[in-house]
Amino acid sequence: MSSDGAGRGIPLPPVPLPARLADLAAEYADGRRDPAEPRDAATVVLQRPGPSGRPEVYLLRRQVSMTFAGGMCVFPGGGVDPRDYDHAVAWAGPQPSEWAARLGTTEDVARALVCAAVRETFEESGVLLAGASADSVVADTTGADWESDRVALESRALSMTDFLDQRGLVLRTDLLGIWSGWLTPVFEPKRYRTWFFVARLPEGQVTRDVSSESSEVVWLAADEAVAQTERGEMAMLPPTYLTCMEIAAVGTVEDVIATSAGRSVEMFMPEVVPLGDGFTLSVPEPLRPLLAARRS
């Protein structure tokens, strides 16, 4: 995926920060400024095995005009919609109480996050993690009728609950795995509390370049996504880059899904920390050895 120059000069972790940004962070830390309230969001690292068996991830390049992460390459996802909280949504797999314990939320928020993860993945890639029963999954979503429903969901003319009911489908929550959680730093004017999920591309389904928020989409080996970002050929925010780096280190898609089964989320917010004579953003402790190995 070419960044058309957007990725050139994009600093990667550890991210050098200008002194003015460190000063701004200090104003939030000592109470002179009030941070923006973060919005809950979900993103899904959609994967498939590449030719070598290593994971490929599905990435969208956000429209440059977007107010948040414009021009950046991201996984499908977005903010929770109020209707994602609907208790009537058809559900199969781990229940909201189980998700709540692992996501570190209430049951209502867990339900909304899982629903948002499935909804946003369908809206932004055409891939639907749902089936007619608890042991089936939709095999093809490329027809005109599916596209009509996808557009209606994207525009909020149709709720996820009604979409599933009309088609006689249930959310396959067992097709999602938990990966991590990232909270936008306090000094950003627009903030998200984002839960990262992982999922394998269902058999028979294909991704499509359908999202109105993206200018380009691509399947790319996770390690190649990291390499392209490091070469300045692709622009990524640190959480996306670090997630690709970690997934590439885990092994196969099956390894990633198996690893996710033992995970729970502790939301991580990058903070400003010293870096030599300047400043940088902190990185989660488990990822520091991987990052150090790439820079050695």
> How much is the pLDDT for 9?
34
Residue located via tokens 């104003």: 27
Q: Is residue 11 part of a domain?
A: no
**Which pLDDT band holds residue 251 (cuts at 50, 70, 90)?**
very high
> How much is the pLDDT for 10?
38
Q: Is residue 7 part of a domain?
A: no
Q: Is the pLDDT of residue 150 over 80?
A: yes
Say whether 109 sits in a helix, a strand or coil: helix
Which residues are CB-contacts of 264 (< 8 A; sequence separation ≥ 6)? Answer: 101, 102, 103, 104, 178
Q: Is residue 2 part of a domain?
A: no
**Residue that wins the pLDDT comparison between 152 and 236:** 152
> How much is the pLDDT for 18?
80
> How much is the pLDDT for 249?
95
DSSP state of 285: G
Average pLDDT over residues 260-281: 88
> How much is the pLDDT for 13?
63
Q: Is residue 14 part of a domain?
A: no
> How much is the pLDDT for 71?
72
Highest mean pLDDT among 213-217, 263-267, 279-283: 263-267
Q: How many domains does the chain have?
A: 1
Q: Is residue 81 part of a domain?
A: yes
Percent of the chain residues past pLDDT 70, beyond the cut? 90
**Full-model pTM:** 0.90
> How much is the pLDDT for 213?
59
Strand pairing category for 55-62 and 73-74: antiparallel
In whole numbers, what is the pLDDT of the chain averaged over residues? 89
- Structural domain boundaries enclosing 178: 19-294
Q: Is residue 224 part of a domain?
A: yes
Average pLDDT over residues 223-246: 91
Distances (CA, A) of 212 to 119, 123, 125, 127: 15, 9, 11, 15
pLDDT digits (tens, 9 = 90+) for 53-102: 899 999 998 655 445 555 788 999 999 999 999 999 999 999 999 999 99
Q: Is residue 12 part of a domain?
A: no
DSSP state of 268: B
**Listed residue (204, 210, 186, 193) closest to 58, CA to CA:** 210
Q: Is the pLDDT of residue 245 over 50?
A: yes
Average pLDDT over residues 231-236: 86
Q: Is residue 107 part of a domain?
A: yes
Average pLDDT over residues 268-286: 86
CATH number at residue 249: 3.90.79.10
